[in-house]
């Protein structure tokens, strides 16, 4: 089994994906066929439980899109759940120091890199040799979302096993008391990306719109997390409603 995202990271080709928040396997099936590189099943802010997350992760993988899972907490059970479901990457929020990073690595990987428990149903999805290749293909993405984490990015990235970093610009802006598109956030992102280059960790960022990507191109993030299914449904609904009102002469 080859994880396409690891190949893109190695080849330094930018990639992008969406968040699944609705808790709907049907939405996962539809968006998994949209052409994005990955979908992130969100157990932190989304409406998923263990069963619906498992169903959505497998629906995404079955369509040929890379399934990721974002856990609510940096705990072994939560990380193990999404990986056992078949996620080829786990996103861990609020990693603020090297100790947080080591904790995530321990939970995400089998020995000798970590202490992940061998079991679960991932081998049913991927084959009996799953445990042989899992450490090489699973990606661990830590989230930097505080000013403290920005300052400690190099220490975090020095922990063996960290594949990538997602800069959570919304929470970071909240912590730094500035706008999401401010110069302060851009400076923080550049600092994290410099640390990523130093330790060969791919750094990506969450963006609120396609227009934000244009502003960040010069920094060359490794990947982008763009919007979520709830936002897409909201915007599509507003667009079609506006067009309907126009067609009926009510605007």
Q: Model's pTM, two decimal places?
A: 0.95
CA distance readout (Å), 236 to 56, 88, 130: 22, 30, 39
Q: What's phi and psi for 134, nearest 5 deg?
A: -55, -45
Predicted confidence at residue 60, as pLDDT, reads 98
Choosing from 45, 118, 197, 243, the catalytic residue is: 45
Q: What is the greatest pairwise CA distance in the chain?
A: 67
- Determine if the peptide bond prior to 22 is cis (ω within 30°): no
Kindly list the domain boundaries of the chain, sorted by start residue: 4-247
Residue 237 DSSP label: H
Alpha helices in 127-204 (DSSP H): 130-137, 147-151, 153-157, 169-176, 183-199
Q: How far is CA 111 from the centre of its chain?
A: 24
Long-range Cβ contact pairs of 207-212 (< 8 A, separation 24 or more): 207/169, 208/180, 212/181
pLDDT tens for the 251 residues of the chain, in order: 789 999 999 999 999 999 999 999 999 999 999 999 999 999 999 999 999 999 999 999 999 999 999 999 999 999 999 999 999 999 999 999 999 999 999 999 999 999 999 988 899 989 999 999 999 999 999 999 999 999 999 999 999 999 999 999 999 999 999 998 899 999 999 999 999 999 999 999 999 888 888 889 889 999 999 989 999 999 999 999 999 999 999 98
Whether 199 is a known active-site residue: answer: no
Predicted confidence at residue 212, as pLDDT, reads 87
The architecture of the domain spanning 4-247 is Alpha-Beta Barrel (3.20)
């Amino acid at each position: 089994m080859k994880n396409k995202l690891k190949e893109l990271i190695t080849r330094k080709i930018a990639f992008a994906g969406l968040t699944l928040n609705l808790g709907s396997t049907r939405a996962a099936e539809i968006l998994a066929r949209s052409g994005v590189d990955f979908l992130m099943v969100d157990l932190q802010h989304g409406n998923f439980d263990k069963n619906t997350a498992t169903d959505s992760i497998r629906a995404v993988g079955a369509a040929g899109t890379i399934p990721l899972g974002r856990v609510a907490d940096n705990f072994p059970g939560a990380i193990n759940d999404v990986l056992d479901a078949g996620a080829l990457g786990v996103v861990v929020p609020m990693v603020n120091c090297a100790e947080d990073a080591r904790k995530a690595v321990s939970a995400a990987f089998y020995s000798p890199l970590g202490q992940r428990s061998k079991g679960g149903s991932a081998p049913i999805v991927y084959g009996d040799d799953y445990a042989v290749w899992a450490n090489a293909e699973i990606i661990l993405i830590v989230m930097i979302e505080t000013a403290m984490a920005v300052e400690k990015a190099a220490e975090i990235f020095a922990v063996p096993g960290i594949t990538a970093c997602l800069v959570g610009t919304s929470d970071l802006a909240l912590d730094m008391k500035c706008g999401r598109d401010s110069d302060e956030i851009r400076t923080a992102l550049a600092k994290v990306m410099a640390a990523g280059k130093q330790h060969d960790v791919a750094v990506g960022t969450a963006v609120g719109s396609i227009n934000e990507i244009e502003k960040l191109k010069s920094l060359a993030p490794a990947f982008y997390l763009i919007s979520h299914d709830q936002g897409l449904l909201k915007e599509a609904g507003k667009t079609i409603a506006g067009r309907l009102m126009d067609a009926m002469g009510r605007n």
